């Protein structure tokens, strides 16, 4: 099974793709599917942000419980 990439990996890959203007090489370097990287560069939100409205607790409630 392939290594799962993190949100930090995605941020690094996006920065590299913009800097080098080479999406496929950046995706390969950071082990991220090129389609995922392309979508993120075109404005797609991370899953955790895009689906916040569907979570049982709001971010504020979650932070309050964590503290």
- For the chain, the C-alpha Rg in angstroms (whole number) is 15
Would you kindly state where each structural domain of the chain is located, as residue ranges? 7-66
**What pLDDT, on a 0 to 100 scale, did the predictor assign at position 12?**
97
> Between 6 and 48, whose confidence is greater?
6
Contact between 30 and 3 under an 8 Å Cβ cutoff? The reply is no
User: Rounded to the nearest 10 degrees, how much is the dihedral formed by the CA atoms of 51, 53, 57, 58?
Assistant: 110
Instruction: Please give the structure tokens belonging to residue 65.
Output: 């419980």
**What pLDDT, on a 0 to 100 scale, did the predictor assign at position 29?**
95
Predicted model pTM:
0.73
Contact between 20 and 41 under an 8 Å Cβ cutoff? The reply is no
**What pLDDT, on a 0 to 100 scale, did the predictor assign at position 3?**
67
**What confidence tens digit (pLDDT) does each residue in 2-45 have?**
569 999 999 999 999 999 999 999 999 999 999 999 999 999 99
2 Cβ partners below 8 Å, 6+ apart?
31
């Amino acid at each position: 099974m392939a290594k799962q990439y993190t949100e930090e990996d995605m941020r690094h890959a996006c920065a590299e793709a913009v800097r080098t203007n080479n999406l496929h090489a950046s995706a390969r370097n950071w082990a991220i599917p090129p389609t995922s990287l392309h979508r993120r560069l075109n404005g797609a939100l991370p899953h955790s942000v895009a689906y916040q409205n569907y979570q049982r607790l709001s971010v504020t409630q979650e932070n309050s419980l964590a503290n």
